Amino acid sequence: MTETPNLLEELNDRSREVFRRVVEGYLQSGEPVGSRTLTRTMSEKVSAATVRNVMQDLEYLGLLDSPHVSAGRIPTQVGLRMFVDGFLEIGDLSEGDKERLDSTLGGNTSDVSSLLDRVGSALSGVTQGASLVLAPKHEAPIKHIEFVGLGPDRALVVLVFADGHVENRVFSPPPGQTPSSMREAANFLNAMLEGRTLSEIRHQLGAEIAARRQEVDQLAHQLVQSGLAVWSEDGESDARLIVRGRANLLGEEADETDLERIRVLFDDLERKRDIAEFLELTDEGEGVRIFIGSENKLFSLSGSSLVVSPYMNADRKIVGAVGVIGPTRLNYGRIVPIVDYTAQLVGRLLSDRS
C-alpha cells in the first residue's frame, strides 16, 4: 500500500485544499461532497470543472472514492488516515464535556469497577459513541482462597485479597467433587498462594502444582487446576472490559449497510473477541492512538474506527485503557481530546485510591 506521507508530498496546494474540504464535509454530513459545493468554499475562485479534475486525480491516488455514478466524493480509508495524520486539527475540550466527565468522580463509593462503569457511561454520553474501558487487574497480594459447592456441576471460587477486595466466579468443577476435596484443594492453594499476587504466581503455578502433586489427592488436584483456570488471561480480560453506549451507534439515518456493520460490531463486542489485545494497542507509549477501519485489528470486520488511550497508575505503569468506537465518520478532532482527558482522569482516580 502506498505510504500516506509520500502521497501528501505529491499534492500541490489546490489538491490539498480540495482533499481537506472533501474530508471535512464528509465527516460533518456523512454525505458525498460535490464539486459545486466546493467551489463556494475554496480560498481561490475556481470552476466546478477544475475541482472535478482535482477530485479525479485524488481518486486515482486512492484518497477519494465515488460511491455512485455522477455523485460527489468521499474519503477512502487511506484518505482518512492521511487526513488524520496530516490535516486533523485537534480542538480543545469544552467546559461542558469536562464537567460531565469530572462528575463521575462524585460519590463515596470506593469500588473501582463501579467508578469505571460510571466513567464509561459518561464517555459514551459525551461522545455519542460506544465507550470501552479496560479495568486494571487487581494486583494486591492474595490472603485467602475458597471453593464453595453450588450443585453437582457448579462451584464458586472466592478470592480474598490482602486489601479487603473480594472476587468470585462460578465455574464447572470436575465430576465427583466432595466438600472434603474442596477443603483440601483450598488448603493446598492457601499454603502456596498467600502473600503473592496473581501476576507473581501465574507463570510458575503449573510447575509448583506438578511438583507438589503428591500433597493432594486426584480429585483435589483436578479442582485446583479447574478452579484456577477461571483466572486465566482470557477470562480475566473478558471480565475487565466495560462496554457502554452500544445504542448510540444505531442512528436514525443508518442505512442497511450501516446496520450490517453495526450488527457485526455488536457481535464482536458481545463475544469480546481478542479483547486481550485491546491494551496491547496502546503499549507503544503514552497518548491517544487512532485506528481506522481495517487498521483496527479488534473490530476490523465491522469497518469501525477506534480512538484509544492508555491510563497509568501512581507508579506510571500502564494498567488499562479507555476508548471510543464508532463509524469511520467520527469527529476525530473532538473525540481525541475527550479520550485523552478521560484517560488522565482515570489515572488520577486510581492514584487517589491507591
pLDDT tens digits for 220-236? 677 776 666 555 544 45
Q: Which helix (H) or strand (E) holds 197?
A: none
Query: What pLDDT is stored for residue 316 in this prediction?
Result: 81
If we measure between CA atoms, which residue out of 332, 312, 303 comes closest to residue 127?
Answer: 332
Residue in this structure with the C-alpha cell 507463570, named with its chain if needed? 203
Which CA distances in Å does 177 have to 43, 154, 172, 182, 223?
78, 10, 11, 7, 8
User: How does DSSP classify residue 191?
Assistant: H
SS3 136: coil
Q: Grid coordinates standing for 159?
A: 478470592
What mean pLDDT do residues 16-40 have? 91
Long-range own/partner contacts, residues 74-78 (CB < 8 A, 24 or more apart)? 74/22, 74/26, 74/32, 74/33, 75/22, 75/23, 75/26, 77/292, 77/293, 77/294, 77/295, 77/328, 78/1, 78/2, 78/4, 78/7
Any alpha helices (H) in the chain, and if so which ranges? 4-10, 13-29, 35-39, 48-60, 77-86, 95-102, 112-127, 179-193, 198-202, 205-211, 218-229, 233-240, 256-271, 276-280, 332-353
**Residue 277 above 90 pLDDT?**
no
- Look at 65 and 300; give whichever has higher pLDDT: 65
Query: What pLDDT is stored for residue 55 in this prediction?
Result: 93
If we measure between CA atoms, which residue out of 203, 209, 190 comes closest to residue 142?
Answer: 190
C-alpha dihedral (137, 138, 139, 144), degrees to nearest 10: -140
Pairing status of strand 154-161 against strand 142-151: antiparallel
Query: What pLDDT is stored for residue 214 in this prediction?
Result: 67
pLDDT tens digits for 314-344? 878 888 889 998 888 889 999 999 999 999 9
- Look at 342 and 110; give whichever has higher pLDDT: 342
38 Cβ partners below 8 Å, 6+ apart? Answer: 18, 21, 22, 25, 48, 51
Q: Grid coordinates standing for 250?
A: 444505531
Query: What pLDDT is stored for residue 234 in this prediction?
Result: 46
User: How does DSSP classify residue 93?
Assistant: P
Q: What is the pTM of this model?
A: 0.73
As a whole-number percent, the residues of the chain with pLDDT over 90 amount to 24
As a whole-number percent, the residues of the chain with pLDDT over 70 amount to 73
If we measure between CA atoms, which residue out of 336, 330, 349 comes closest to residue 287?
Answer: 336
Domains and CATH numbers, the chain: 3-87 (1.10.10.10), 95-137+238-352 (3.30.450.40), 141-234 (3.30.390.60)
If we measure between CA atoms, which residue out of 279, 333, 335, 303 comes closest to residue 129?
Answer: 335
Query: What pLDDT is stored for residue 82 in this prediction?
Result: 93
pLDDT tens digits for 157-195? 888 888 777 877 787 888 877 888 888 888 888 887 777
Contact in structure between 127 and 338 (CB atoms under 8 Å): yes
Task: Give me the sign of the Cα torsion angle 90, 88, 340, 327.
Answer: positive
Confidence of residue 215 (pLDDT cuts 50, 70, 90): low
Query: What pLDDT is stored for residue 127 in this prediction?
Result: 92
What mean pLDDT do residues 130-151 have? 83
pLDDT tens digits for 241-250? 788 887 777 7
Confidence of residue 299 (pLDDT cuts 50, 70, 90): low
Quote the mean pLDDT of the chain: 79
pLDDT tens digits for 49-101? 999 999 999 999 999 998 876 678 999 999 999 999 989 989 899 999 999 99
What mean pLDDT do residues 284-309 have? 77
Query: What pLDDT is stored for residue 122 in this prediction?
Result: 92
Query: What pLDDT is stored for residue 223 in this prediction?
Result: 72
Confidence of residue 123 (pLDDT cuts 50, 70, 90): very high
Q: Which helix (H) or strand (E) holds 141?
A: none
- Look at 247 and 6; give whichever has higher pLDDT: 247
pLDDT tens digits for 146-159? 888 888 888 888 88
Q: Grid coordinates standing for 176?
A: 465427583
Please give the full DSSP string across 45-90, using - where no structure is assigned.
Answer: ---HHHHHHHHHHHHHTTSEE-SSTT--BEE-HHHHHHHHHHT---
Query: What pLDDT is stored for residue 126 in this prediction?
Result: 93
If we measure between CA atoms, which residue out of 81, 135, 108 comes closest to residue 244?
Answer: 135
Query: What pLDDT is stored for residue 31 in this prediction?
Result: 87
Contact in structure between 147 and 157 (CB atoms under 8 Å): yes
What mean pLDDT do residues 207-227 have? 68
Q: Strand pairing partners for 291?
A: 306
